[in-house]
Amino acid sequence: MQIISRPRRNRKSAGVRDLLTETSLSTNDLIMPLFFLEGFNKKIEIKSMPGQYRYSLDQLLIKVGELSQLGIKCVSLFPVIEDRLKTKDAKESYNPNGLNQLAIKEIKKAYPEMVIMTDIALDPYSSDGHDGLVDSVTGEILNDKTLEVLQMMAFEQAKAGSDILGPSDMMDGRVGAIRDILDKNSLSSTSIMAYSAKYASSFYGPFRDALDSAPKKGDKKSYQMDFANSREAMRELTLDISEGADIVMVKPGLSYLDIIAKFKEKTNLPVAAYNVSGEYSMVKAAALQGWLDEEKIMIEMLTSFKRAGADLILTYFAEQMAINLQNN
């Protein structure tokens, strides 16, 4: 039998494979999420996320400097708010002198070249632990009243110096409401990375541990998406684009590669994937047991996001991947 086409010829050596690699990763693709809290000289490991920490502001600045030296261009900030400041109206979320706004200002002062992304959602600030305001009688998440709070959050974060706002709340109309207040206050250059397809996922557990932000009652299924749905994600994408999103995101990433690929086909906007806490912790836990090669799994997983169509990846592996790229 004469075999005319032999695909293995293109895999015969490391040099040939490198020449023909279709998908590659660089530090330009990576965004590092960081958790921070009140206090001084604090670096507290998150038990459910080995290798990840809650930093006091002084330690956060040191970490941002280290990431910058590794070539990381963007960090995404998540404040750990003290219980005494959490209220039903989440008013601490738009305190101009609050922890989040202070961190933005301090990072911009120390590292003006670092791109800062910040989160827009009420759960870290809410005594109810939900992304929106909760009706005290019915328990309903109040969409339109929440938009007013999200607007105030967006204004204060942008004014403090945030480069990219990440509305993760999944309220209807949030992107348009945020774009409106930014444009009306001469903050039009602030970007919006919409969490366009944020699924009601069980992969968020370690993140909620890190922020102590789990719902006190009920779940988030009335606003986050059903993980069985794909067409619904396209509807959310279309709405976010029409409302002025600059970047769109799929969250989580690993179980939603098909959605990332569909986003890439549907829009010319940059597409981001969030390699979430549960995905990170699964790899770490298995590696600690000696069941997986952590470095190889990390590279394979992050490459899969890129291969599916992600232009940007929010990942807790960002620092580790940057060190790997620097060493290789």
Q: Which residues face 79 on adjacent strands?
A: 36
Residue 73, beta-bridge partner list:
none
The strand ranges marked E within the chain are 30-37, 43-45, 53-56, 74-79, 115-120, 133-134, 141-142, 164-167, 191-198, 247-251, 271-275, 312-315
Alpha helices in 141-184 (DSSP H): 143-160, 174-184
Cis preceding linkage at 252, omega within 30? yes
CA distances from 53 to 19, 43, 50, 120 (A): 38, 6, 8, 21
Our CA dihedral for 178, 221, 310, 105, rounded to 10 degrees, sits at: 40
Task: Check: CB of residue 270 under 8 Å from CB of residue 311.
Answer: yes
Q: Which of 73, 86, 105, 198 is catalytic?
A: 198
Of 86, 220, 251, 284, the active-site residue reads 251
Calpha distance 195→236 (Å, rounded): 9
Catalytic annotation present for 221? no
The verdict on whether 284 is a catalytic residue reads no
Half-sphere exposure of 183 (CA within 13 A, CB side): 10
* Contacts for 37 with CB less than 8 Å, ≥ 6 apart: 44, 54, 55, 56, 79, 80, 82, 99
* Catalytic residue numbers, as ranges: 198, 251
